[in-house]
Structure 1
């Protein structure tokens, strides 16, 4: 296979663009600290959004469903442990009760905010 001048020129141009974009230190007008803050903010936002979107799926997978606690699930084991610890019943306002409420009715605005803050904090920690 022979390559003509035009093909070689476009290949060299593409390699130059890739090399230039990979060398951000030289071409980016932002300081290193500014890039670090920007990266932290982006990862914090992504972490918060991911946690908010994933929370209903995680609750369902753990066994906190709209129909109640799924038999044989992590939620059932938590409920059993809470019942033993409380003398046979699950305390209202306890962790199991709150998670079951969230699994059945969804997360409230305050709960979404708390989950988002947790995800944002984890995203910011990953950036460090």
Structure 2
């Protein structure tokens, strides 16, 4: 049987992941006005451009992150982020419940 604390950890972490994803994108430098100069996003974009012969490939990780930073996460992306966060939180809750006894 799954403990209530494990379920609570999963729900809480999934919710936090959905709420924090846009903040994390902004902190990295992906925003509505484009990639912020000197940011982590700028470094990622530069590396992607060098690897692709001067341009960033459509559908690449950098392109997807910039799209999400500029226009917010799609409903599918929000579900994915929440699900991954919930799975991670549930796993952490399950592991900690095993050590508590």
Q: Same fold (TM over 0.5)?
A: yes
Structure 1 gap ranges (5+): 1-33
Question: What TM-score do you get using the length of structure 2 for normalisation?
Answer: 0.90
Query: 2:22 — aligned with what?
Result: 56
Q: CA deviation at 1:38?
A: 1.3
1:68 aligns with 2:34: yes
Q: What does 1:1-128 correspond to in 2, within 5 Å?
A: 34=1, 36-127=2-93, 128=95
Q: Which has the larger radius of gyration?
A: 1
Deviations, residues 17-55 of structure 1 (Å, cap 9, x unaligned): xxxxxxxxxxxxxxxxx5x52111110000100000001
Alignment TM-score, normalising by the size of structure 1: 0.71
Across the aligned residues of Structure 1 and Structure 2, the Cα RMSD in angstroms comes to: 0.9
List alignment gaps of at least 5 residues for structure 2.
96-101
2-structure distance, mates of 1:116, 1:106: 14
Give the aligned length.
94
Higher relative contact order (CA 8 A, sep 6+): 2
Q: Which segments of structure 1 move beyond 3 Å, counting only runs of 4 or more? A: none
